[in-house]
Structure 1
Amino acid sequence: MADHGLKFEIESKTVAEFRSLDKSGDLVLQPDYQRKVVWPERAKVSLMETILLGYPIPEIYLAYETSPDGEQKASVVDGQQRLTSLLGFINNKFPLNGLEDDELKEKFEGLYFKELPDEIRQEFFQYRFPIRRLSNLADKFVRAVFARVNRVNMVLTDQEIRNALLPGPFNEFLKDCAEHPINKVSGVFSGARRDRGGDLEFYAEIFGTCIFGLSNKKAGLDERYDKISEDFEDYQDRATEFLALLTFLTENIKWAGRTRWSNIVDMFTLVHVSWGLRNEFSNLDSQRKEQIRDLLDLFQRAVSARKRKGENGESVSLSSMLGMVTEEVDKTIEGYMSGIRNSSDLGSRRVRSQSLRLLIARKLEG
Structure 2
Amino acid sequence: MADHGLKFEIESKTVAEFRSLDKSGELILQPEYQRQAVWPERAKVSLMETILLGYPIPEIYLSYETSPDGEQIASVVDGQQRLTSLLDFLKNKFPLDGLEDETLSGKFEGKFFKDLPDDVRQEFFQYRFPIRRLSNLADEFVRAVFARVNRVNMVLTEQELRNALLPGPFNDFLKDCAAHQISTVSGVFSGERRKRGGDLEFYAEIFGTCIFGLSNKKTELNERYDKISADFEEYQDRSVEFLELLTLLSETIKWVGRTRWSNIVDMFTLLHASWKLREELGNATPSQKAEIRELLDLFQRAVSARKRNGENGESVDLLASLANALDMTADEVEGIVEEYTSGIRNSSDLGSRRVRSQQLTLVLSKKLKS
Per the normalisation by structure 2, the TM-score is: 0.98
Structure 1 runs, 4 residues or longer, greater than 3 Å off: none
Alignment of 1:258 onto 2:262: no
SS of 1:76's partner is: strand
Identity among equivalent pairs (%)? 77
Per-residue CA deviations over 1:237-270 (Å, capped at 9, x if unaligned) read 1111101100111000011000000000000000
1:35 to partner: Cα distance:
0.1
1:234 to partner: Cα distance:
1.1
Matches within 5 A, 1:28-47: 28-47=28-47
Q: Distance in 1 between matches of 2:343 and 2:3?
A: 50
Amino acid in structure 1 at the alignment position of 2:84: T
| Structure 1: 5+ residue stretches without partners | none
Q: Distance in 1 between matches of 2:228 and 2:320?
A: 43
Amino acid in structure 2 at the alignment position of 1:26: E
1:219 to partner: Cα distance:
1.7
State the match for 1:316 in structure 2: 320
SS of 1:174's partner is: helix
Amino acid in structure 1 at the alignment position of 2:128: R
Q: Distance in 2 between matches of 1:73 and 1:195?
A: 25
Amino acid in structure 2 at the alignment position of 1:97: D
Matches within 5 A, 1:176-191: 176-191=176-191
State the match for 1:167 in structure 2: 167
2:347 to 325, 343, 348: 343
Q: Distance in 2 between matches of 1:338 and 1:6?
A: 54
Q: Distance in 2 between matches of 1:323 and 1:221?
A: 39
State the match for 2:213 in structure 1: 213
SS of 2:218's partner is: coil
- CA-atom RMSD in angstroms: 0.6
Per-residue CA deviations over 1:127-180 (Å, capped at 9, x if unaligned) read 000000011110000000000000000000000000000001110110000000
| Structure 2: 5+ residue stretches without partners | none
Q: Distance in 2 between matches of 1:221 and 1:68?
A: 42
Matches within 5 A, 1:208-247: 208-247=208-247
Q: Distance in 1 between matches of 2:123 and 2:213?
A: 60
Kindly tell me the number of residue pairs found equivalent between the two proteins.
366
SS of 1:141's partner is: helix
State the match for 2:360 in structure 1: 356
State the match for 1:26 in structure 2: 26
Q: Distance in 1 between matches of 2:285 and 2:363?
A: 19
State the match for 1:5 in structure 2: 5
SS of 2:219's partner is: coil
Amino acid in structure 1 at the alignment position of 2:324: S
1:323 to partner: Cα distance:
1.0
State the match for 2:74 in structure 1: 74
Q: Distance in 1 between matches of 2:219 and 2:109?
A: 50
Per the normalisation by structure 1, the TM-score is: 0.99
Q: Distance in 2 between matches of 1:286 and 1:362?
A: 17
Amino acid in structure 2 at the alignment position of 1:330: E
Amino acid in structure 1 at the alignment position of 2:262: S
Q: Which moved more, 1:213-222 or 1:257-266?
A: 213-222
SS of 2:98's partner is: coil
Amino acid in structure 1 at the alignment position of 2:352: S
Amino acid in structure 2 at the alignment position of 1:168: G
Contact 2:254 2:293 in 1 (8 A): yes
